[in-house]
Chain A
Amino acid sequence: MATTSEKILQSIKETHLAPAPRWKFRARNSVIWTMFAVALLVGSLSLSVIIDQLVNHDWDIYRYLHKTFLQYLLLSLPYLWIVCAAVFSLLAYYYFVHTRGWYRHRVYRVVLASIGLSVALGTAFFFLGFGKQLDAVLASKVPYYQFLSVDKKKLWTHPDEGLLGGQVTQAEDSSGDFVIKDYSGNDWDVQQPVATPKDPAITVGEDVKIIGVEKNPQTFEAKEVRQWEAQTKKETAEDSDSSRSEVKGVETHKQTYSSDKTSEARTRTETERSDD
């Protein structure tokens, strides 16, 4: 009766079995490390979008919406990106535990190193503006992306609560008043009785966020005017391309009104001097 070793040798010879080439194992390891790196990068990019959205969120408006901070926080979290970051972090972990010799590292060190690396990369991507760019690209290219993201426009469509957002359609008024079309398609005459602390340059075609008081269904008195952050401006600009063309009396060229009364006065004085 043949021994095990004889059977093995016989089987090797009969089936012409040969050790698989070394490059196959190296290639397999490289693929696993690449997948790990990709998962880590995508996870970090997701984290950079989360940081961007949290940093650029209007955290102070929850009182106008008659909500507690916790309710507002739950309403404002970028769940899509949180899920995305979690899924890709888990994928990175999955690929890591399939690399050769991973178990020689202590689990808590692996977890801490993964979290540390993701946070470091995510923060770096945020400062490089990748998070903002990714969000803007997805908003313009991916259908239904807006529905899955926090609807910032909706937050700023509460004129009765003192929050109004929309696109500037007229801004040539020297009094500082301007006209916007809100995200429900209504026109509003926005009055600025006093210069507001965070006034941006009011430019036709740009989107603004206004905190103030609704005077009547067409008039809103502004206490503070804010600009939308870059990515929101991009997405709203694309969204309202069609609505912009419908606005009557909108100049085709850009008109800028600086709400800074001092600079306006300075400009007027300079004009008068040149006339003289």
Chain B
Amino acid sequence: MKNKANNIPEPEKVDISGLTDEELVAKALEDPEAYVFLVQRYEGKLLRYIMRISRGTREDAEDLLQDVFLSAYKNLNDFDQELRFSSWVYRIAHNKVISHFRKVTARPKTTTYEGDSQILNILASEENIERDLEKKYTAQEVLEVLDQLEERYREVLVLKFLEEKDYKEISDILEKPMGTVATLISRAKKQFKKKAEEISK
């Protein structure tokens, strides 16, 4: 298509929303406007993730989220093409939350959303489904259980069962070998079940 006034060809319009994350990263390196699309793709997921693993209000989580996106933009050239962008940005969020709570020296507290308790109820009973079929944990009980877990166990449970990440993605986010992730999940499930039983008694 040509511009009628000065005969200069107009730049070809690309449907940016159809690009993959990795293609958007390449675009964002040249044009910050393209980065907005990446932010829009992940702001909801990351806000929920940050709230799930952190203590504090929604406003705190939103501040952390902005920090995550600005840090990701600054380090865009360090994005490892062998990773999925989602794993990379979740990793940055994970590190930001950890360093934020190191600064404020408060233990992160879990927040669950509607539906989370249902998933975690399945988790709590999946080791002995027949015996635990009757058991139902309230959202409050699930929260209490998660809060009592060690941080590393809580984090893997959130990633596996609430964020629904696979082992490879969890390995990339936490920068731990897949074998270690599998061990952590197995131990976390046992600890979750034990604590859930204690609370229900």
A residues with a Cβ closer than 8 A to B are: 3-9, 11-13, 17-22, 24-25, 100-107
Contacts and interface: CB of A to CB of B under 8 A. Distances in A.
B118 to A, nearest CB: 28
A12 B35 contact: yes
A107 B66 contact: no
Contacts of A3: 43
Interface in B1-57: 29, 32-33, 35-36, 39-40, 43, 47
Given A5-B39, A103-B175, A104-B177, A11 B75 contact: no
Nearest to B175: A103
A106 B177 contact: yes
B76 interface: yes
Nearest to B180: A107
Interface stretch (B77-85, B143-151, B152-160): B77-85
A102 B180 CA distance: 13
A104 B171 CA distance: 8
B75 A19 contact: yes
Contact-residue bracket for chain B: 20 to 34
Contacts of A105: 177
Contact of A5 (B36, B75, B76): B36
B199 interface: no
A101 B69 CA distance: 22
Contacts of A5: 36, 39-40, 43
A112 to B, nearest CB: 14
B175 A9 contact: no
A12 B32 contact: yes
A4 B58 CA distance: 13
B80 A101 contact: yes
A8 B73 contact: yes
A32 to B, nearest CB: 13
Given A4-B39, A5-B40, A25-B78, 5 more contacts: A4-B43, A8-B36, A18-B74, A22-B78, A25-B77
B75 A12 contact: no
Given A8-B39, A103-B177, A17 B70 contact: yes
B35 A8 contact: yes
Interface string B165-201: 0000001000111011000000000000000000000
B66 A20 contact: no
B179 A4 contact: no
Contacts of A102: 175
